[in-house]
Structure 1
């Protein structure tokens, strides 16, 4: 490439994306802090989450947020804020008994902001500061939201917002009539409950605005919550892809591989969970208190869908068998779909691991599904995520075992519930033991941000490798 062509290429890049490197003959200047943060989307996400966490904690610590009229203990306020922002939903104090309407509204707003997605809101903040999304921000956001091209990121963010509020509006309209029937003499309270359940169900957060829980005996309330929670676990890329194909009048065969794998794996996990709860807990009076077949199926369906990430009614949790606790631990560790309001390693990661195992046992050279071959980088990323998350769960469980007297089953259940944003608790999170609160709060924050986002934020750009070392086979297994 000649010098003139190189200068022309550099000017074209500068016009399209802005200055990438300082001019050769000009002294380099140190960029301001705000520009450095905005140019690094991972750090921007953590900064946004941290600022919102501090703000929500401060608001929940105010006397106006507590029914007692005195300031809430910092540990309780911080843990509740982390649980709401991460869309986990583990509550260590009663939402209705402890928090006033103001405090519940603060929790609801924290759930909404957390559910919209750290990367989504970080991109909006970046646009408001710089008036355009940088290339690095586009790449990161496109990867999370499922945009096929970089210039689609703006429209995808808009669709994400519209989709979120549309699903919540539909859930609110469906929940409003049955909840008004439940509270015919207190319509404002019923409307607030409908709004609260609409937001928390789609965002898969286990907070409830009433001690009555889910009104599980009323299908008018239970079905919209179940459907909204299920849609929320699929993730924005799947929802957008299905909507696009539906708008173009294309069937499931036209869905992307990610959508097919997410929906198939999700339905399989829900189906296996339904069979498990019916087989293992059919005669459990706490889980299935009625002898009526329809009531048992209804309770089993709720128990199969909710533990993956939604939480909500936890009254029956201490009464399930030890084997069910371990089964739920695995389900919560898997979590929901990528770029969804759920946590865990994600269902696609779990599906890729199963496909890799199938291919290795069958002696296949490539891992394929639905007529498509998986990229090697996808396999490496799935193995990396699973290894990091498994190590995180192990270290956190060991730490909780050292500071509590609970069993390994209870500790692993609580750890996976926090990391997978399941929202269920066995009481390991103890306000009298602040260490448990901060360990679980850290797990919820990492589970919401994602281990790859945290690693991306603390990593430094690496220079391209000038050469590659020679390869050599080793024995594994």
Structure 2
């Protein structure tokens, strides 16, 4: 199955890991009270951890024992790094080398185009010969970033009154949850005690930002730092689009919530821009929040819906349709408006098959969100704005919630768990796996143009 369909193999392994973690979390030893949790809550938490989403149906700070928390932490690390990438890292550690099959598996995980159309052109971000270096970058970057974040967060927790063991454990938990873009919070009070603390919020925001860039971007930046090599179009599009969305998101939240006394309006003027910037970064897929999302206005929720749907960078710990997908769609619209035959960015031409893939990803994503929203509305009859927000958060593996998720009936939890699964597996991988066959058409039919618009 690995050779014939990497997409189906990825989904199979991913699903098996979810089921395995579900069984572990359902054990009495995984719960602090020793009574265990219902199967639906164990499944939902397992999906949320492996899919690095952060949505919860139980109190993460009080429900799980040390055994359960360790299992969840391992699950979100595996989900964040990527199943196939992690498998290749382990294979490299055992055999000291990567075979062609292992390289192809890792390449598929870092570039979904390889799953969709096979080997891709030279212009893609990661070449097959770079996979060994990429895997080393993944392993090193995960270790360095999470340990550095831990070293930054632990002193702040000690100052806040945590004992050394609790500060170290929860500091690493915060670091791993931030870099993997999961958004699980190990403290009972959540982030409420740090809502005006620039040190703590900056550390978490940096972790989320780095995780949302994607390992190919981190790899390219590390290579640029050492050798001053040219940055690819993928890297430039990811960085530029991420920055633009961050600025627009910050301004939108700041303007729309400035006068809301239940959110930003209740904070000091100097704190409001920090909170808006923090929430804008969290829409990349972070899931942390210092305010009550349910108290936000409908206009702000809609703006955050759009930001969450886009998500972060390709092959990152973030979800959504990805920032490069949005960039390609914008470039296509720009080329059409200018009358150009080709999409262009940074003095490079972008092939049309990338546009087709971007459109496919967007349509699949919108279809999943629409179907899930209709199903949740049917079983809960909750307001559309709240349902749409939590469904998009689940699809984009973001983790921000209006509070609806915790009150869902069991049927709603299963629906949202399936949405998280589909969002993390990836629309391209899912489409390729569901296809009856992957074949190339050896002929072209006669052309005829329908009327559009």
Q: Is the shorter-chain TM-score for this pair beyond 0.5, marking a shared fold? A: yes
Q: Is the 8 A contact 2:111 2:315 kept in 1?
A: no
Distance 1:111 1:82 in 2: 9
Seen in structure 2, the aligned counterparts of structure 1 residues 422 and 221 have a Cα distance that, compared at 3 Å, is: same
1:131–1:270 Cα change, 3 Å: closer
- Secondary structure class of the residue paired with 2:152: helix
Instruction: Say whether residues 1:137 and 2:105 are aligned partners.
Output: yes
Task: Flag the structure with larger Rg.
Answer: 1
Distance in 1 (alpha carbons) for counterparts of 2:98 and 2:284: 38
Q: Which has the higher contact order (CA 8 A, sep 6+)?
A: 2
Mapping 1:161-172, distance limit 5 Å: 161-172=139-150
1:405-460 deviations in whole A, cap 9, x for unaligned? Answer: 11111111111000011101223325661111111111111111101112222334
Superposed displacement of residue 260, structure 1:
0.8
Aligned counterpart in structure 1 of residue 293 of structure 2, from 317, 321, 325: 317
- Structure 1 residue 340, shift from structure 2 partner: 0.5
Per-residue deviation, 1:136 = 4.9
1:67/1:139 CA distance change after superposition, 3 Å: closer
Which residue in the other structure is 1:376 paired with? 352
Determine the structure 1 residue equivalent to 2:120: none
**C-alpha RMSD over aligned residues:** 2.2
Match of 1:96 in 2: 61
| CA 420–355 in structure 1, closer or farther in 2 if over 3 Å, else same | same
| Equivalent residue number for residue 180 of structure 1 | 158
Match of 2:212 in 1: 233
Is 1:200 matched up with 2:200?
no
Which residue of structure 1 aligns with residue 441 of structure 2?
465
Q: TM-score, normalised by structure 1?
A: 0.87
Q: Is the 8 A contact 1:417 1:424 kept in 2?
A: yes
- Secondary structure of 2:306's match? helix
2:416 is equivalent to residue 437 of structure 1: no
Q: Kindly state the Cα deviation for residue 147 of structure 1 after the two structures are TM-superposed.
A: 5.9
- 2:198 aligns with 219
Q: 2:53 & 2:447 partners in 1: Cα distance? A: 44
- Provide closer, same or farther for how the CA distance between residues 75 and 302 of structure 1 changes in structure 2, counting only shifts above 3 A: same
Alignment check: 8 A CA contact 2:257 2:265 kept: no
CA distance 1:138–1:112, shift in 2 (3 Å): closer
> How far apart are 1:358 and its partner, in Å?
1.4
Q: Which residue of 2 aligns with 1:155?
A: 133
User: 1:20 matched to which residue of 2?
Assistant: none
Correspondence 1:416-455 to 2 at 5 A: 416-430=392-406, 433-455=409-431
**Contact residue 178 and residue 204 of structure 2 kept, 8 A:** yes
1:36-63 Cα deviation digits (max 9, x unpaired): 3465322221122122111211111111
* TM-score normalised by length of structure 2: 0.91
User: Structure 1 pair 294/43, CA: closer, same or farther in 2 (3 Å)?
Assistant: same
Unaligned runs of 5+ in 2: 115-123
Separation (CA, whole Å) in 1 of partners of 2:410 and 2:424: 21
Structure-2 change in CA distance of 1:139 and 1:303 (3 Å): closer
> Are the equivalent residues in 1 in contact too, given 2:58–2:406 (CA < 8 A)?
no
How many angstroms apart in 2 are the aligned matches of 1:289 and 1:444? 32
State the Cα distance separating 1:223 from its structure 2 match: 1.0
Aligned length: 438
SS of corresponding position for 1:98: coil
Partner of 1:117: 82
Q: CA deviation at 1:277?
A: 1.3
| Separation of aligned partners in 1, 2:371 and 2:385 | 15
Report deviation, 1:125: 6.4
**C-alpha separation in 2, matches of 1:66 and 1:190:** 21
Summarize the alignment of residues 29-428 of structure 1 with structure 2, pairs less than 5 Å apart: 36-37=1-2, 40-124=5-89, 132-134=99-101, 136-137=104-105, 140-141=108-109, 143-144=111-112, 148-184=126-162, 186-214=163-191, 215-249=194-228, 254-288=230-264, 291-313=267-289, 315-428=291-404
Structure 1 unmatched runs, 5+: 1-35
Q: Call closer, same or farther: CA 1:370–1:432 in 2, change over 3 Å.
A: closer
What is the Cα deviation at residue 138 of structure 1?
A: 5.7
Q: How far apart in 2 are the matches of 1:277 and 1:142? A: 32
Q: Once structures 1 and 2 are overlaid, which stretch shifts more, 423-432 or 143-152?
A: 143-152
